């Protein structure tokens, strides 16, 4: 007993985890795919334990999501807000900022669009641009206070953006329940008389807006001086100050852009699928968007794929629920996938290395060769 214990201890002492200096991008992607596969296998096992047939369920789930036009449309439809809120989080993560406020900006964007939709009668080609501009502005304005507080006084943006979400929802409720109240539909405003144009079937053009914005942002961040500054400030703020970059101005701009993107998301949602302003049109997209951005490593193009993956998983959840799997199992499954992806992401940044141990320093006074563990101590 004691011997095996010491054996194990000796074995463990011989290895330790060391942070990799650089992680290859392909490794990060590979690990993510692997994590999703393992998660699906776990979920399959769980379904089998529930007395259902996993391959059967998987077949049906795939058939009704990837296997049908309607399923594909549903994926694209749900991916739209996830990509947009994902972008709003991702651009902030590039600057090492945590934007938890996309939910609130989404509601403010939706509110602004509803205000125009209900109070302005004009041709659709005039109304929609006005709605998008107003929605983007509303989102940006809602971000203004956290952005200024963060840029000038280093006030933690996690708290401020999160708190303002609740204010935004209450603000929307004043209008949905009171001012623009519809007497037929509970807790919702009147129907907005303008519908976002359809791409085909039930799918609206929101997905094009989301993808277009992602590509635009990718080009903007990749090709301009501003993008270079954002990258440098995010990676090393002291270096940015050393070359005299306007760090505060850039924080302000990036946060306002993030607010505007989430505001646009609100416009798409309220005119494309909800059609009425209410305090539950978001379905927590603002928070899911943070996860989308993390899975995408804050990469703009990656956000498109992460958004689609999330939408796929959520749609499968809906299908499985219809097949008699409990809602809790579905929540558990999505949680498991996220957890495994996060663990995989963490582990891919480390490698196992063998340690050179020396228990007994030599008695004679000769300088020793450097051993592997010492530079770490020097860095302390």
Q: What whole-number distance in Å separates Cα of residue 23 and Cα of residue 348?
A: 7
Q: 264 near 129, Cβ under 8 Å?
A: no
Please classify residue 295 by burial: count the beta carbons closer than 10 Å to its beta carbon, then call 0-12 exposed, 13-18 middle and 19+ buried. buried
What DSSP state is assigned to residue 367?
A: P
- Smallest gap from Cβ 240 to other proteins, in A, equals 9
> Which residue, 44 or 227, has its beta carbon nearer to other proteins?
227
Q: What whole-number distance in Å separates Cα of residue 342 and Cα of residue 339?
A: 5
> Which residue, 153 or 242, has its beta carbon nearer to other proteins?
242
Sequence length of the chain is: 380
> Which residue, 123 or 362, has its beta carbon nearer to other proteins?
362
Q: What whole-number distance in Å separates Cα of residue 45 and Cα of residue 27?
A: 27
Backbone angles phi, psi at 303, to 5 degrees: -60, -35
Q: What whole-number distance in Å separates Cα of residue 267 and Cα of residue 114?
A: 8
> Which residue, 324 or 367, has its beta carbon nearer to other proteins?
367
3-state secondary structure 173-213: HHHHHHHCECCCCCCEECCCCCCCCEEECCEECHHHHHHHH
Q: What whole-number distance in Å separates Cα of residue 377 and Cα of residue 144?
A: 44
- Smallest gap from Cβ 237 to other proteins, in A, equals 10
> Which residue, 56 or 372, has its beta carbon nearer to other proteins?
372
> Which residue, 152 or 235, has its beta carbon nearer to other proteins?
235
Burial 92-107 (b: 16+ CB within 10 A, else e): bbbbebbbbbbbbbbb
* Closest by CA position to 353, among listed 124, 53, 20, 4: 20
- Smallest gap from Cβ 248 to other proteins, in A, equals 13
- Smallest gap from Cβ 378 to other proteins, in A, equals 4
Residues lying near other proteins in the complex (CB under 8 A) are found at 21-22, 223-228, 231-232, 235-236, 238-239, 241-245, 361-368, 370, 374-375, 377-378
- Smallest gap from Cβ 19 to other proteins, in A, equals 12
- Smallest gap from Cβ 364 to other proteins, in A, equals 7
- Smallest gap from Cβ 326 to other proteins, in A, equals 43
What DSSP state is assigned to residue 270?
A: I
What DSSP state is assigned to residue 272?
A: I
- Smallest gap from Cβ 242 to other proteins, in A, equals 5
> Which residue, 22 or 183, has its beta carbon nearer to other proteins?
22
Q: 99 near 84, Cβ under 8 Å?
A: no
- Smallest gap from Cβ 244 to other proteins, in A, equals 3
> Which residue, 69 or 236, has its beta carbon nearer to other proteins?
236
Q: What whole-number distance in Å separates Cα of residue 114 and Cα of residue 94?
A: 32
């Amino acid at each position: 007993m004691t011997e095996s214990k010491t054996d194990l201890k000796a074995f463990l002492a011989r290895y330790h985890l060391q942070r990799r200096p650089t992680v290859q991008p392909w490794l990060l992607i590979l690990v993510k795919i692997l994590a999703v596969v393992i998660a699906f296998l776990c979920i399959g096992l769980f379904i089998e334990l529930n007395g259902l047939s996993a391959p059967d369920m998987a077949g049906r789930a795939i058939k009704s999501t990837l296997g049908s036009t309607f399923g594909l449309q549903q994926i694209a439809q749900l991916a739209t807000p996830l990509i947009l809120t994902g972008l709003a989080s991702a651009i902030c993560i590039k600057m090492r900022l945590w934007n938890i406020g996309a939910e609130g900006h989404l509601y403010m964007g939706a509110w602004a669009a509803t205000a125009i939709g209900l109070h302005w009668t004009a041709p659709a080609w005039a109304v929609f641009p006005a709605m998008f501009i107003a929605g983007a502005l509303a989102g940006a304005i809602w971000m203004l206070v956290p952005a200024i507080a963060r840029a000038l006084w280093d006030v933690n943006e996690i708290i401020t953006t999160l708190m303002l979400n609740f204010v935004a929802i209450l603000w929307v409720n004043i209008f949905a329940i009171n001012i623009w109240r519809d007497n037929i539909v509970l807790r919702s405003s009147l129907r907005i008389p303008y519908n976002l144009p359809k791409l085909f079937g039930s799918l609206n053009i929101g997905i094009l807006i989301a993808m277009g914005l992602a590509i635009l942002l990718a080009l903007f961040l990749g090709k301009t001086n501003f993008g270079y500054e954002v990258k440098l400030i995010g990676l090393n703020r002291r270096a940015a100050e050393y070359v005299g970059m306007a760090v505060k101005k850039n924080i302000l701009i990036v946060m306002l852009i993030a607010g505007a993107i989430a505001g646009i998301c609100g416009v798409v949602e309220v005119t494309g699928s909800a059609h009425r302003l209410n305090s539950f049109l978001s379905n927590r997209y603002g928070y899911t968007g943070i996860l989308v951005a993390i899975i995408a490593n804050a990469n703009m193009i990656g956000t498109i794929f992460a958004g689609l993956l999330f939408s796929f998983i959520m749609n499968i959840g809906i299908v499985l629920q219809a097949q008699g799997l409990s809602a809790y199992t579905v929540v558990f499954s999505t949680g498991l996938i996220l957890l495994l992806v996060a663990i995989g992401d963490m582990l891919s940044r480390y490698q196992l290395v063998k340690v050179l141990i020396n228990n007994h320093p030599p008695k004679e006074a000769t300088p020793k060769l450097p051993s592997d563990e010492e530079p770490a101590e020097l860095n302390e």
